[in-house]
Amino acid sequence: MEPMLPILTKSLKDAPITLRGEYYYFIHPITDGVPELTPALLSEVADRIIELADTDVDKIVTIEAMGIPIGTVLSMKTGIPLVVIRKRQYNLPNEIAVHQRTGYSKGELYLNGINKGDRVLVVDDVISTGGTMKAVSLALELAGAEVSDIVAVIERGEGAEALRASGRDVKTLVSVDADAEGVTIKSAQ
């Protein structure tokens, strides 16, 4: 039987590892955009998200920066408009500041283009601590949107489980771990 997500899983297993402090960080096209992000990989990921997620939505929402390629391909394949949560403030009417805190950073993100009652699909490259996704979900609710589904391509760490435990339905395509030996695929769907 053909493995689920063959391009994604092979590229993860082949990903170089770098040590950042005591954290084994894998460098991958989906999470970093390097060495290159191929159309075949993006298409495989988008097709699987479309199979798993609720796409009966008004908008796809993603987070700058590495959610943009995923969200763009999803938007093109589904015809659903894309909203990008940005790291820059634009001071548009109804802009909402998103206070994000992850295991390695904190800062402001800015949400524009969401209307009260919008049904949204939130997509991102990776969930590790869950801090960004928690903040984004709260900001979308504050804007009056209904978060129909949340999908991340890669799950690493406890963040996705913590979000699920808090009542958020989070789907991920692959769950991974990384150490000095490389990336291990724990599950793929």
Q: 157-169: per-residue pLDDT in tens?
A: 999 999 999 999 9
The residues pairing with 174 across neighbouring beta strands, listed in sequence order, are 154, 188
Please report, for residues 11, 34, 92, 110, 149, the alpha-carbon distance to residue 136 in angstroms, rounded to integers and kept in the order given: 28, 25, 18, 9, 12
Q: What is the pLDDT of residue 54?
A: 95
Spans of the chain, pLDDT less than 50? none
Q: What is the pLDDT of residue 121?
A: 98
Q: What is the pLDDT of residue 2?
A: 63
CA distance 104 to 4: 31
CA distance 175 to 186: 5
Q: pTM for the whole thing? A: 0.95
